Amino acid sequence: MHRRRIDGHVHLIPKREPGWIDPITQYRHDAYGMLRTPLGDRRRLPPYMADSAFEAGTLMEVMEEYGVEKAVLMARLESGVPEAALDAAKRYPGRIAGAVCVEIRGEGEAQLQEWHSRGIGIVKFEMRGLNELYGKLEICDPAMMRLFGKAEELGMIVVIDPGPVAFPSYSPEQISTVLHTYPALKLVICHMGLPFYGLRKNAGLYEKWRAMIGLGSCSRVWFDVTAVPDLFEEEGYPYSEALTYFKELLHICGPDRVIWGTDIPGTFRRATYSQMIEVFERCDFLDGQDKDKLFYENANQLYFNGK
């Protein structure tokens, strides 16, 4: 039987001329998926994506091919991406939910108000990228707290990518402070809280990750289960160790607050879309009803209001 699916974490990359320099990050975007940054070059897309783009039409073709009904477009610290998400939501009504990133200081609150008025209901904070852009920045920075408060006021969902477990701003304690300060805020933590292959060999980092997933005891916290091919690159498909961390997460938050997703197109460097589905379809510790929640129902209720 075909299972209904929502991809809870994807990205759009607008098409640009090779060599384009983003005015926000100052990163240079070259052909064949190459990104040039002050911290070094990295490949963000597979080299067969010669134009270094992944636009809404391509995403919809992928979704049609694999029977995915809806998708959540997560923002990046990159100009033009929120506009692309909003345009996709208008072109494919009911099938796309879009997120934005905003300035942390200065006009951030006004930007949130503007995007909300235009139909965007999700704001994402990517801590590694924010630290690259702004210097040392913690989750409980006063400017961040004002934005969390504004998001709560507007009823927007907050998505946090806390960065790698060893990263300075990876702080379950500060996220807990956010949740206590803003008691109506709904919050999604990306990528299962960022476990990685061999995490248990480092007791300190493992306990830090355990504290992060411990936030799942709060009924206003969800975890998206995404980017497994990147986090567990050394292990490779079928990512058996990744599923042990997923099982730990489920023991805390249960099957009602986990959301499947892929983090494409970047994860296409290491896995196929079918593999990213099958990793979780073959979980023998989930029954059919739990898989329906993981693949569709939880994301539909949170991001699409159950419609």
Quick: pLDDT tens for 270-287: 999 999 999 999 999 999
Name the CA dihedral angle for 219, 189, 182, 208, rounded to a multiple of 10 degrees. Answer: 90
Q: pLDDT at position 181, please?
A: 98
> What b/e readout covers 90-115, taking b as 16+ CB neighbours within 10 angstroms?
eebeebbbbbbbbbbeeebbebbeeb
Q: Which of 82-86, 202-206, 287-291 has the lowest mean pLDDT?
A: 82-86
Express each pLDDT in 190-245 by its tens digit: 999 999 999 999 999 999 999 999 999 999 999 999 999 999 999 999 999 999 99
Scan for tokens 């052909």, then name that residue: 31
Enclosing H/E stretch for 133: helix 127-134
Question: Confidence band (pLDDT; 50, 70, 90) for 160?
Answer: very high
pLDDT in the model for residue 271: 97
* 195: nearest Cα among 248, 141, 121: 248
> What values do phi and psi take at 266, rounded to 5?
-60, -35
**Of 176, 194, 107, whose CA–CA distance to 139 is shortest?**
176
Judged against a pLDDT cut of 80, whether residue 24 lies above it is answered with no
The mean pLDDT value of the chain amounts to 94
Residues 175-186 have a mean pLDDT of 98
Please state, in angstroms and rounded to a whole number, the distance separating the CA atoms of residues 50 and 32: 4
Query: Which positions ≥6 away from 8 have C-beta within 8 Å?
Result: 71, 72, 224, 226, 259, 260, 261, 299, 303
DSSP 8-state assignment for residue 195: -
Averaged pLDDT, 78-95: 88
- Look-up of token digits 């494409």: 264
Quick one: what percent of the chain has pLDDT higher than 70? 100
Q: What is the dihedral of CA 166, 168, 170, 174, to 10 degrees?
A: 150
pLDDT at position 1: 53
Q: What integer pLDDT is reported at residue 267 of this predicted model?
A: 97
pTM (2 d.p.): 0.95
